Structures are given as structure tokens and as C-alpha cells.
Structure 1
């Protein structure tokens, strides 16, 4: 005859098994590996990341390798080499990276180093800190073996000199977006993310946006999902936007729903939100993705076993909701 203690033990085991079975079932349907990134230049970046993911590599390695592509491409005017300078003519770079274990590294106002994302990873892995800035970040990069070089191309220099004649403020919108953010889920089911930028064109010297700020421009929670952002960085900083997106996914929102709610929260606080662009991109633990923005025109790239695609994000303005 079964004792009460044995019955309770059996019931507890049965309950645990019942809870585990749906998780195992869901795991079979997880879309992995997958990589997503912001803007059209995310396409070539995804290709580089996929080379690592396809051979069962780590998501962290994939996102670093991926965003290094636009960092080195002078045709991508808002990231790395060839990026627009600040008002004084200096190219200043910001980046951050975060892995599945909540390890993260960041650099801000970094000059003369082509790959700030790799410096950010060295900060994560070789210092007790999360962020290094300015001259300190540069000296650390040089100590780590990075090469010092001039990042201001002739094209960017000529456009900056033309801008000096009018000094017209360059609003951060569709024409002046400022990042590549990348999120990846690897074959092991682990998430990582990276974000890198040269910032807004002709910004005030010393200005730093959301891109190197963990929680604002990028956030990863390996239990839930990851998010990255683009657009008016100050608005993401004020709302800790990417952390908000991840927490909304934790509460049950899909990636797209979470991005939309974060955008609506920002728009609700701004009387003139139509003048700005804010966009979020999210990837959850099941490999589902989604994005949302204020103005239409924000696109994002997706690569997995089934596709290599570019999508337009849904937006608050112009009826695309």
C-alpha cells in the first residue's frame, strides 16, 4: 500500500516531468541557429556571422565577426572606418558586446581604432570593468595589439568641411541613423549580441549615444531573449529601451510586440516624436524575431537555415502598424 510520503514524492516527480515535457517539446521547434541585424548593411554582416554559426560556433564569436564587416567598410558611413566625424572632424566610435552569461564589455569615444567591437570584447574578457572610454580605451586597445590608424576617409572629410559652412544640425532620423546591432542564437541555444557605431553625424565632441550602453542600445538575457536599438540614442538611454524590450518578452510578449510597446512608451513621452526615429530589433530564446520603429524605413536582416532576407519593420507613423 502506498504511503502518503511515497504518494507526495511520486506526485512531485510527475509534476516535474509534466513541466519538463513542454520545455523539451518546445526545444525541438526552436529555430536555431539564427542571426538578425539592423539595416541593409546587416546582410553582409549576417553572412560573416553565419559562417561561424553554421559550423556550430558560439553566438558571441558570430556577432563579433559579423559587425566587424561594416566596421571595416568605408561605404557604411555610420559605423567604423569611413564613418561621419563629430563637429570637430574626429571619428569617434562606440561599441558594446554581451554574451549568454551576462558578461559584457564596452568602449565609448574611441578614436583611431578600426574595430571597437573587438576592443569591447577585450574589455569584457581581460579587465574587471565593463566600459572604457576616450584616451583610456585607446591606450588599452594599443596595449592589446590593435593598430592605430586614421579613420577619416577623404569622402567623409570633404562632407564634413562642406557641413562646416552651414553647421546645420543633423537630426537622427531615417537619413542619419547610426548603428549596426546584431543578435544571434547559436546551435547550443545560447544568445549573444553586439552593437557598434560612429554615432550621429557632426555630433558635439564628447557625445556618446546608447550604442555602447548595456540595457539601452543592447541587452541579452539567455533565459528570455535579446534586443538591440537604432535611432535617437538619447531616447533609448532615457527608457533603458533594450532592457525594457527583453523584460516585455519575459512577460509573454512576442519580439515584435515587445518592440512595439517600447516604441509606444517613448512616443507617449514625447510631444514631437514624429521628428525622430527610434527602432528596436529583438530575438527570443525560441529563435523568433521582430522589430518596430517610429518612422517607416527601418529594415533588418535575418539569416537562418531557411532564409537570407531583408524585412521592413512595422512602424508607428505612415499607417504601417
Structure 2
């Protein structure tokens, strides 16, 4: 072969390699996925919230080019709010100590890293839409309480609306009849069975009771003072957390262009202290997403999990090269080392569409749908 022929071969090989590289990049970035057998678009959600996933899928997979990841997240979380998924999302569930339902929600655009969130929002039923309005029409990230309500209504959402339901009020009435137990107070003494409460020094209280009993009875078993029998009336707490009293929908969407968005919506912990904000509207705790890396969603004991920002941890671990499964396990194990009794879970999905989950203290399920599936698939993750 002469030199001209060899040059032609080299040129053809170079062009071929360039095209292969281009197709690989398309597969990773999500553009032109259909041509290279990718799995985008994609929707992932905590729990078997199939209808929510289908609502998001309908938007992001539309034949006219598909909606954006952000629009799909809004559609999916809104569906869960309307359906009142597990009684822990949207209006009508999880009454606080006053019997009122309030909403927390967050949305994040992984392309721009913009975030909108509302917390302890009253009288507006559309949590995720309110969060998107904060992102779209303000330079803020988080609005709270009645001022979040005022903002949402001024931007066109219906309200004011009573967010309680007959079911939530009945649940609250039964709880009151049970002397407001269990609850989220600690190291307090109630004026009555349901408060008001005042703070106490637990060590001083135990010492005072010990001296009174010893003085009247001439001695007492030391073990008795260290038991839960004495602590329980002044240090009450919820002993059992599950998806029906302490849950969130957390959703991640990758659209046809490879852009990522995440969102959460919740009505918070049942019988929470009024004003409590959980991990739902906290960026990096309930959810986090970055086009360059991937996304994460979380569910569980938000008061514990928000101390660790597990979803931020998951995404940053994947940024450093961890696979989704290892990143999810690492984030959960970090919490478990400090709080062995905590209950929670995360799912992780990287920008290639590889997904995994990890949990502690309960069996967790998350839902997935992508272009290779005929319908939503539910993945079960064991502790």
C-alpha cells in the first residue's frame, strides 16, 4: 500500500474512532439516547408510588420531545399530593400537636443548581408547585410558614384552604385521648397530660426524686432510677417510625437531554411540635441532584437524617467515583454509626442511569421507570 493509501486508512480509522467517542458521549449525556440504546428518560421515586412515577413519566417521555426534568418532577410529586400517598404527602394527613396539617416541599434543577422550597406552609395544598414558584419567581431558596402561604397565593395558587381532613382530625383526637403519647418532647415536665411543657434538668430531677424516696422508705434500688419507668413520663418520644407516619415522596428525573431534577413533598411527622421543619425542604438532605453526577432521594427520620445531608453525601461520593450502591450504603452507614436505632433510606442514580438503594431499620422500596420498561418497577431493599 502506498503512502497515500495508508494516509486514507488512517483518516478513516480516526473518523471512525471519533464517531464512536461521540456516540458514547451521547449515551452518557442523555442526548440521542434512542440511537445508542440508552435508558433515558428515567424516573426514580421513593416507595411504590407508581401513579406518581407514571405521572412524571407521561411528561418526560412525551412524543413531542418530552417535557423537562423539572416539569416531570412537579407532575409526579403533584400526583402524590392529590392521591395523599400513604397519608404522609399532601393535605389531609400527619396532624401536628394542634391537629393542623402543614406542608414541606423542595425542587432542585440539576442543570442550574437552582432550588425552591417551602416549609411549614399552611392553607395551600400544592406544596411542590409552591416550591417551584419560589425557584422561578424569587432569588430566595426557602420560604416558611404563613409568609410562604402568602407568597404562594399571590403567585396564583388556590388558597386559603383547610389542609386537615376528617381522617387527620380523628387521628389527632385519638392521640389526645391517649394523653398525647407518643410525642416528640424530651427533658420536659408537662403541666397536664398534653402540656404545656416546661424544661427540666433531668439529672437534678432524678436526684430529687431519689432523695424523696430514700427519705420516706429508707432506701431504694438504684437500678429503678435508671429504668425507663422513671424517665418515660418526662422524656417521651416516638418509639416506632414507619412510612405511614414519617415519610416523604422524593423523586429524581433524568430527561431526554440528560438534565436532572429532584423534588420532595411531605406533610411531615405525625404529631410533630408545631413549627417543626423536617428534612423535606432541606437541600442535600431529602434530595439532591447535579447534571454532572446524578441524583439522590431520601426517606425516613428526617430529624436525624438532616443532620448528615445524606443526599448531598451520595452525590459527592458518586462525583469522586463511587458506584451508586456504594455511595448509598456509605451515606446510610455514616448515620447508623452515630444513631444505631435510626430509621431511613436513600436511593442513588448516576448520570448513566445506574441506580441503587440502601436502608437502615426498615425494608425500603423505590420505584423506577425508564425507556426500556413497559411499566413502573418496584425495587425492594433490605436493611
Q: TM-score, normalised by structure 2?
A: 0.74
Deviation per CA, 1:184-234: give whole Å up to 9, x if none: 101111100110100110111111111100111111111000111110112
On the 8 A contact 1:82/1:156 being kept in 2, the answer is yes
Query: CA, structure 1 residues 284+158, in 2 after alignment: closer, same or farther (shift >3 Å)?
Result: same
Matched, 1:287 2:350: no
Number of the residue aligned with 1:8: none
How far apart, in 1, do the equivalents of 2:364 and 2:245 lie? 11
Out of 181, 197, 214, which is 1:168 matched to?
181
**Secondary structure, in 3 states, of the residue corresponding to 2:306?**
helix
Q: How does 1:25-174 map to 2 (within 5 A)?
A: 26=28, 28=36, 30-40=38-48, 42-55=49-62, 56-74=66-84, 76-99=86-109, 100-148=111-159, 149-166=161-178, 167-169=180-182, 170=238, 171-174=240-243
On the 8 A contact 1:174/1:297 being kept in 2, the answer is no
Unpaired runs of at least 5, structure 2: 1-13, 30-35, 183-237
**Secondary structure, in 3 states, of the residue corresponding to 1:76?**
helix
How far apart, in 1, do the equivalents of 2:266 and 2:46 lie? 12
**In the TM superposition, what is the alpha-carbon distance from 1:304 to its structure 2 partner?**
1.4
How far apart, in 2, do the equivalents of 1:19 and 1:110 lie? 51
Matched, 1:304 2:366: no
How far apart, in 1, do the equivalents of 2:85 and 2:73 lie? 20
How far apart, in 2, do the equivalents of 1:141 and 1:18 lie? 49
**Secondary structure, in 3 states, of the residue corresponding to 2:170?**
helix
**Secondary structure, in 3 states, of the residue corresponding to 2:39?**
coil
**In the TM superposition, what is the alpha-carbon distance from 1:82 to its structure 2 partner?**
1.6
On the 8 A contact 1:70/1:76 being kept in 2, the answer is no
Matched, 1:203 2:275: no
Deviation per CA, 1:219-264: give whole Å up to 9, x if none: 1111000111110112221111110000111122222221111000
Moved over 6 A (4+): none
Unpaired runs of at least 5, structure 1: 1-12, 316-321
Q: How does 1:209-248 map to 2 (within 5 A)?
A: 209-248=278-317
Provide the aligned C-alpha RMSD in A: 2.1
**Secondary structure, in 3 states, of the residue corresponding to 1:176?**
coil
* More deviation, 193-202/235-244: 235-244
Out of 288, 291, 314, which is 2:382 matched to?
314
**In the TM superposition, what is the alpha-carbon distance from 1:97 to its structure 2 partner?**
0.1
How far apart, in 1, do the equivalents of 2:271 and 2:326 lie? 34
**Secondary structure, in 3 states, of the residue corresponding to 2:119?**
strand
How far apart, in 1, do the equivalents of 2:19 and 2:40 lie? 25
Number of the residue aligned with 1:5: none
**Secondary structure, in 3 states, of the residue corresponding to 1:162?**
helix
How far apart, in 1, do the equivalents of 2:289 and 2:149 lie? 26
How far apart, in 2, do the equivalents of 1:243 and 1:108 lie? 19
On the 8 A contact 1:76/1:82 being kept in 2, the answer is no
How far apart, in 2, do the equivalents of 1:75 and 1:185 lie? 23
**In the TM superposition, what is the alpha-carbon distance from 1:172 to its structure 2 partner?**
3.0
How far apart, in 2, do the equivalents of 1:75 and 1:96 lie? 17
How far apart, in 2, do the equivalents of 1:285 and 1:75 lie? 28
Query: CA, structure 1 residues 122+25, in 2 after alignment: closer, same or farther (shift >3 Å)?
Result: closer
On the 8 A contact 1:34/1:302 being kept in 2, the answer is yes
